[in-house]
Amino acid sequence: MRSGGWMERRFHFISGLPRSGSTLLSAILRQNPRFYAGMSGPIGGVFNTLLGELGGRNEYSVFINDEQRRRMLKGLFDQYYGPEFSADVVFDTNRIWCSKLGQLKPLFPHGKVIACVRHVSWVIDSIEQLIRKNAFQPSSIFNYQPGGTVYSRSEGVANGDGMVGFAYNALKEAYYGEDSENLMLLQYETLVGDPARAIQAVYDFIDEPTFTHDFERVSYDANEFDLRAGTPGLHTVREKVALRERTSILPPDVFRRFENDAFWRDSQLNLRGVRVI
């Protein structure tokens, strides 16, 4: 911990699409003893709730000014990641952060948002693969409901309020928005295919000294959480980082539905020069 103490640690954020490498990225980064990173946590939801309660729907909001709002929202991070966290640099993970760049920038002027992305068809495929592997355990992804088909499940996660649809729309908002200077997109294919280059790009982006990571021995354990969510393997990370080719289990028409959604691959659409690794 730097001499200024835990209240002065630096915060960055991991966001983006589900099933796109955020847990793997966290598992790699946490090898650095100066860093803390993990799976999606509670701060994003609490942040969103508090932001709402500090607004006009609270009849007492007339007594709250923007500076007080800023301190209270910033305090969430300072208090949650208290002195029991020894890291100098904290990465908080939540899909909501891509929709909150306008709030994060004044709270954390030097904070960066790393958005993990992956071809949406393969995101849907990965979710469906998990559901089929755990055929006897209804998943929290679908509110523990055992019914449905691959078509209804893909439709459910892809709609605007769904697990994938919300994250995708938030990603686009961040990518095309005026606060995108603090945003970097990290492609799943780069992370698993060339992890050394991917992680070096992260270090360059957050302006931290390089650390030698071991991509042959990566570990992360969230088995208890995954079991409670009815989705064992949801946050499983293989020990060796490697690109693994396989055939999609989605029906061809479902796979094709999302095949043109990887907007970040079209440089002509990158109007603000966002880093895409």
Per residue in 230-262, pLDDT (tens digit) is: 887 777 888 899 988 899 999 999 999 998 999
pLDDT in tens, 186-198: 999 999 999 999 9
- The region of weakest confidence among 117-131, 144-158, 214-228, 247-261 is 214-228
Q: What is the pLDDT of residue 199?
A: 98
Residues 108-128 have a mean pLDDT of 96
Indicate the SS3 state at residue 77: helix
Partners of 90 in the β-ladder: 11, 36
| CATH 3.40.50.300 is the classification of domain 6-276 | yes
Tell me what percent of the residues of the chain surpass a pLDDT of 70: 97
- Quote the pLDDT of residue 3: 43
Query: Residue 197, SS3?
Result: helix
Q: What does the alpha-carbon distance between residue 20 and residue 37 come to, in Å, rounded to a whole number?
A: 16
Contact 272, 184 (CB under 8 A): no
Q: Is the pLDDT score of 225 beyond 80? A: no
Cα 60 to its chain centre, rounded Å, is 33
Tokens representing 93 are 């993970």
Q: Residue 226's pLDDT is what? A: 65
* Mean local confidence (pLDDT), 186-213: 97
Q: Quote the pLDDT of residue 231.
A: 82
Q: What is the pLDDT of residue 4?
A: 47
**Res 7: pLDDT:** 56
Q: Which two tokens stand for residue 9?
A: 């640690």
Q: Which residue has the higher pLDDT, 232 or 104?
A: 104
What would the pLDDT profile of 14-70 be if each residue is shown by its tens digit?
999 999 999 999 999 999 999 999 999 999 999 999 999 998 888 878 888 999 999
* pLDDT exceeds cutoff 70 at 175: yes
263: its two tokens = 């907007």
Q: Domain ranges in the chain?
A: 6-276
- d(CA 80, CA 93) in angstroms, rounded, equals 14
What count of other Cβ atoms lies within 10 Å of the Cβ of residue 37?
23
Largest Cα separation within the chain, whole Å, is 58
